[in-house]
Chains A and B, each alone.
Chain A
Amino acid sequence: MIRYIKNLYNGFINATISKKITAVALTLLYIALLLSVIVKVNVEVITPGGLNSTAYTDTTENESGSVKIMTENSAGNIYTVGVYSHIRVSYFQYLISQFSKNIDHNDYNPQTNLSDSEQVTRGKIHRNYSMNHALIVAYKEANKIDPTIYLDYDFKGLIVSAVYHFSETDLHPYDIITHINGVPVESYNHFSTLLAAASNNVSFPLTVKRHNEVKTITARKVLYQDNYLLGIETAEHYEINSENSTPKFTISEEMPSLGSSGGSMTTLAIYNALLEEDITGGKIIVGTGTINIDGTVGDIAGVSQKIVTAAMHKIDIFFVNAEDYEEAKTKCEEINAEFELIRVNTFTDIIEALAGDTE
């Protein structure tokens, strides 16, 4: 190989000036291309994604979805919509992503933002608690119509979904916080109130359940961007017992997406599967927005990309939470989306919108 490289070098030395220029130009181009695919930039690129199935029942032909409800009702054609997030892309990817109006960019700071694997863990935890919230809200709402529908669930504490880099608390994702300063945590809001009362920069005990073991750890609020924070992200954690519920359900082990943004649509699909009447009227329904335990539909990220994704499929209705409605509407107008965009604040709004639509 060394001999061949020497031959190449000699060939280059003895070549005409035009050949030398071409060789140098091609080499520089090659190096530039190589660097462009290797060098990373601190940017997060969000692109449109795909539609994901939600709930299915005993009568669903194609048994795909995140949860199976053991009824003979129709779950309807209800889908969540996902986007792809690429953290620290190459310079080449950053450049090509600039060519599309349907792709968004966010700054990414490796010192403060979650890493790729931490985001995946966070996404899995969000997806899991979102499923629990969806089941609780759907069963609760369906119970108003059919009192035999019942879900056995119990609040267990707050699940930690992310620990930020500035945090000085020894918490890990999947930890379940049960007590703060010895006081049992009753809800997310209750925890926030107790945390606000804790002194800044002073350590206090947190009782957590980690791998089924109860531990007491010390926590401390630290100054970060003018605020004293614990530096963690949590959500209410409920334990749900399918065996004691009517009808029973099974959650798929391999759920297709990450995150909680499909909460409202999963709730709708479960609700529809629980009741005999198909409230979707055979329409293809897509939507986005988290579901809170009180039935409110929360905001999400990447709504423009979700609208583009939905527009690539033949859908009839797109539900969006109130906070992201304007952005969604602007994108719909930009791409001439042909579906109906409906703004919702709560899960009840979704049911009412469909009732109005199908009547």
Chain B
Amino acid sequence: MSKRPLGVPFLRWLTQDSWAVLGAFLLAGLVKAGLLKTVPW
């Protein structure tokens, strides 16, 4: 039995063939980490 957390295959499936989801989550991570504080509109 694999001891990998269940989230790992799910995350791999979620981002597989989907650079857009990966890119959006990366941006969300940057915002959460405080590295992207303001984006004017």
Q: Do the two chains bind? A: no
